[in-house]
Each structure stands twice: as structure tokens, then as C-alpha cells.
């Protein structure tokens, strides 16, 4: 096996060459104007990608660290929030809040279903003390897009804020922080933003900053006001030592997104996602979960035929083709495969992904015949570009 594996997992993703080149640089000190100009460009690009005029805060951590930061910066022990838990990552946000002494009302806990807005509304009406709703925009564990616009409206009607995990959606799926009146958004580098793992971003609304003023949970490394202060000057910096190479990588990957055009990037993700999903269905596979109205544009999940395990498929994909994909999570670990088609993923990658999946399923099950997936892709891609 060559020492090059191809990542078609729901993050981390393949990093484009020019992003790798941006990191491959002699050392730059983080207290120099040379560094500040790279950071400044990155933050301006990220404002456009979040569709916000608010300050974008870089957090030196993976997505989970930034999610934690939003809890410790806005709340006090005993505060109550509602958490949409229709997947592993919605559950993760809820769990972090509990770790810091918040009372969490879990709603919509069925991984096979969409958010039930009536259930959420009833909960908010019965519990006017709830200060926030946490929700995952794109539930990476189930490949479902949650209806964050409706959830944001509902939160505001009840005087709560909405906190959105956009870790696997930002840069790949439509998201508009200001227009949709989102209060908290968290994103991470290693998904549709096309960079290596290790850097995250947080954006807060004015209401969220008001809550910061009242929060009593301890904060130090993740104190968002200290990050805000450092980036809100003509030559921005970050507190402490800075992962300069990651900042340089993100400056380049965000530039690439804006060069292609953010809406073009969203459309490309929708196009390739639709083509992949249709091809899997043409192969007789059922998408997971079955009962949802909006499927993710960055991730596809599907059920395997009962006699095939996700471990066998993952193993063969890697051994034969050097392609990394992932299995399901939690109760769906064995039965479900999850594929990522985000960031640096184009029509040619659909061909690679579908033909290799089809080949592996044929190798594992003699009854499978090759061709249906590729045939469907040809139809889907006829009109497409790139």
C-alpha cells in the first residue's frame, strides 16, 4: 500500500495542495506584523463564510473545545438549556453542558427522526427558565440537516438564545449567522473548511455577549472576551502562543472558498451529495435514517445489507483502494456506513467513491452486480461541471 490514503470520511478531509503549501513555511513569530496580516485576512474571510458582520473568534482547539468554550462563557451552574439530541453530536453538546453543572432538557432524542418542533415548543412553554437551545446544524452521525432557522425563531419567541454547532456544515452548506439571527455558532477546521484538525471558530450575537457578562463559570484558556480583545485591534493576534501553521492553512482554504464563490460552493456540495445519494439508492441501498425531510449535503449515511458489517467494508476500502470511510456511531456502528463529501470534493470524487463502494460490496456479496451505482452517477453528472 502506498503511503497515501484518500479521506472520504465525514472529517477530517483531504487538504488541498495549496493549503498544505501555505503551512509549509519557515517559522513566523505570532507577535509580528507578518503574522497579523495573515490572521486579519483569515478573520475577514471567515466573516464572509459565516455571513456575519460580528467578530469571528479563533479558538486554539478542535470543535469540542470551542463547544465547551460557549458553555463556560455564557452560563452559570444551574442554568437550564434545551438540547436537540437526534444524534451523537447533539448529545455531545448536551453532555458538555451537564459536565459544567447546567440542567439539560434533552429533546428529540430519536436518532432516526427529525426534530419535532411541537415537542420543543411544548418544552419551552412549560419551562420559561430555559435560557438557550443547543442544536447541531448538520448531524454528522446521522447525515441529517436540522431546521435551525425554525429553531432560532422559536428560541427568540420564548426569549432564549440558539447555539448552533456548524462543525460539519460551515463552508459546505448554506448558513447565514446574521440573517437567520443565530446567537452562537461554532465551526472547526477539518471538515468543509478543508484544513487540518486543530483550529475552531466561535461567533456570538449581542444577546450572547450579554450572557457572557452574567456568566459565573470559570474561564481561562477559553475566555472568549480575551480572544475578542486580541483580535479587535488593527494588527490582530491571539492570546498566548498561536498555531501559526493552522492559521496560514485556514487563510488559504477560506480564500479558495471565496474564490470559488460561497454560494457556488454550497451548490457544488448539494450537487455531489445528491448524485452520491441517488447512486447508492440505485444500488438498492437504503439511506440512513429513513424518515427525514432534509438530508445533509456534506455527509451520506446508508444501511448495509444485513450480512455485511461496516468493519468489513471499511477494511476492504482501505486495503484495496487506500480510501478511508467511517462506520455508523452508537447503536448503528455495525449496520451503517458514513461517507464524507465535503470541502475539496468534486464530481470526479463521486466517481471514485461510488465505484469503489460498489466494487467492495460486490467483493463481499456475490449477489451484488456492479454497474447500477455508476449508471446512476453518469445520469446525475451529465449536466454538472468540474
Binding site residues, ligand PLP, CB under 6 A: 11, 62-64, 89, 92, 136, 140, 165, 167-168, 188
CB of 90 to ligand PLP, least distance (A): 8
Residue 120 or 195: the one with the smaller Cβ distance to ligand PLP is: 195
Residue 163 or 381: the one with the smaller Cβ distance to ligand PLP is: 163
DSSP code, position 291: B
What are the cell numbers at 346?
A: 468534486
- Spatial distance between the Cα atoms of 170 and 165, rounded to a whole number of angstroms: 9
CB of 272 to ligand PLP, least distance (A): 19
Residue 63 or 373: the one with the smaller Cβ distance to ligand PLP is: 63
Return the residue nearest ligand PLP (CB atom): 63
Contact 53, 242 (CB under 8 A): no
Tally: H helices and E strands in the chain = 13, 14
Contact 299, 287 (CB under 8 A): no
CB of 168 to ligand PLP, least distance (A): 4
Residue 142 or 380: the one with the smaller Cβ distance to ligand PLP is: 142
Residue 115 or 377: the one with the smaller Cβ distance to ligand PLP is: 115
CB of 122 to ligand PLP, least distance (A): 26
Residue 202 or 283: the one with the smaller Cβ distance to ligand PLP is: 202
What are the cell numbers at 146?
A: 436540522
Residue whose C-alpha cell is 451505482: 373
What are the cell numbers at 305?
A: 445489507
CB of 186 to ligand PLP, least distance (A): 8
What are the cell numbers at 86?
A: 437526534
CB of 144 to ligand PLP, least distance (A): 11
Contact 380, 278 (CB under 8 A): yes
Check the CA dihedral 201-48-344-353 and report its sign: positive
Amino acid at each position: 500500500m502506498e503511503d497515501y490514503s484518500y479521506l472520504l470520511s465525514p472529517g477530517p478531509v483531504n487538504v488541498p495542495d495549496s493549503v498544505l503549501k501555505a503551512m509549509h513555511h519557515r517559522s513566523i513569530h505570532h507577535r509580528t506584523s507578518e503574522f497579523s496580516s495573515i490572521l486579519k485576512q483569515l478573520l475577514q474571510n471567515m466573516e464572509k463564510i459565516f455571513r456575519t458582520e460580528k467578530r469571528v473568534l479563533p479558538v486554539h482547539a478542535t470543535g469540542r473545545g470551542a463547544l465547551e468554550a460557549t458553555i463556560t462563557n455564557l452560563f452559570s451552574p444551574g442554568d437550564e438549556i434545551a438540547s436537540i439530541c437526534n444524534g451523537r453530536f447533539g448529545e455531545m453538546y448536551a453532555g458538555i453542558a451537564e459536565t459544567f453543572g447546567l440542567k439539560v432538557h434533552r429533546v428529540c432524542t430519536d436518532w432516526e427522526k427529525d426534530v419535532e418542533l411541537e415537542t420543543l415548543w411544548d418544552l419551552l412553554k412549560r419551562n420559561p427558565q430555559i435560557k438557550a437551545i443547543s442544536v447541531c446544524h448538520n448531524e454528522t452521525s446521522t447525515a441529517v440537516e436540522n431546521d435551525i432557522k425554525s429553531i432560532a425563531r422559536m428560541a427568540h419567541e420564548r426569549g432564549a438564545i440558539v447555539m448552533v454547532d456548524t462543525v460539519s456544515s460551515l463552508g459546505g452548506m448554506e448558513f447565514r449567522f446574521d440573517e437567520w439571527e443565530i446567537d452562537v455558532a461554532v465551526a472547526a477546521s477539518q471538515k468543509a473548511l478543508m484544513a487540518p484538525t486543530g483550529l475552531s471558530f466561535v461567533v456570538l450575537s449581542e444577546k450572547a455577549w450579554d450572557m457572557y457578562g452574567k456568566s459565573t463559570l470559570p474561564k481561562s484558556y477559553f475566555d472568549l472576551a480575551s480572544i475578542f480583545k486580541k483580535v479587535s485591534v488593527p494588527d490582530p493576534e491571539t492570546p498566548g502562543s498561536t498555531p501559526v501553521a493552522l492559521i496560514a492553512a485556514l487563510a488559504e482554504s477560506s480564500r479558495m472558498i471565496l474564490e470559488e464563490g460561497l454560494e457556488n460552493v454550497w451548490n457544488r456540495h448539494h450537487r455531489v451529495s445528491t448524485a452520491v445519494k441517488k447512486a447508492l439508492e440505485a444500488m438498492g441501498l437504503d439511506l440512513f435514517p429513513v424518515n427525514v425531510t432534509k438530508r445533509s449535503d456534506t455527509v451520506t449515511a446508508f444501511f448495509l445489507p444485513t450480512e455485511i458489517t461496516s468493519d468489513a467494508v471499511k477494511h476492504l476500502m482501505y486495503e484495496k483502494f487506500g480510501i478511508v470511510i467511517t462506520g455508523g456511531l452508537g447503536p448503528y456502528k455495525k449496520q451503517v456506513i458514513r461517507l464524507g463529501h465535503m470541502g475539496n470534493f468534486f464530481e470526479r470524487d463521486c466517481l471514485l467513491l461510488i465505484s469503489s463502494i460498489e466494487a467492495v460490496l460486490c467483493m463481499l456479496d456475490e449477489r451484488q452486480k456492479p454497474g447500477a451505482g455508476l449508471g446512476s452517477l453518469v445520469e446525475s453528472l451529465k449536466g454538472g461541471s468540474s
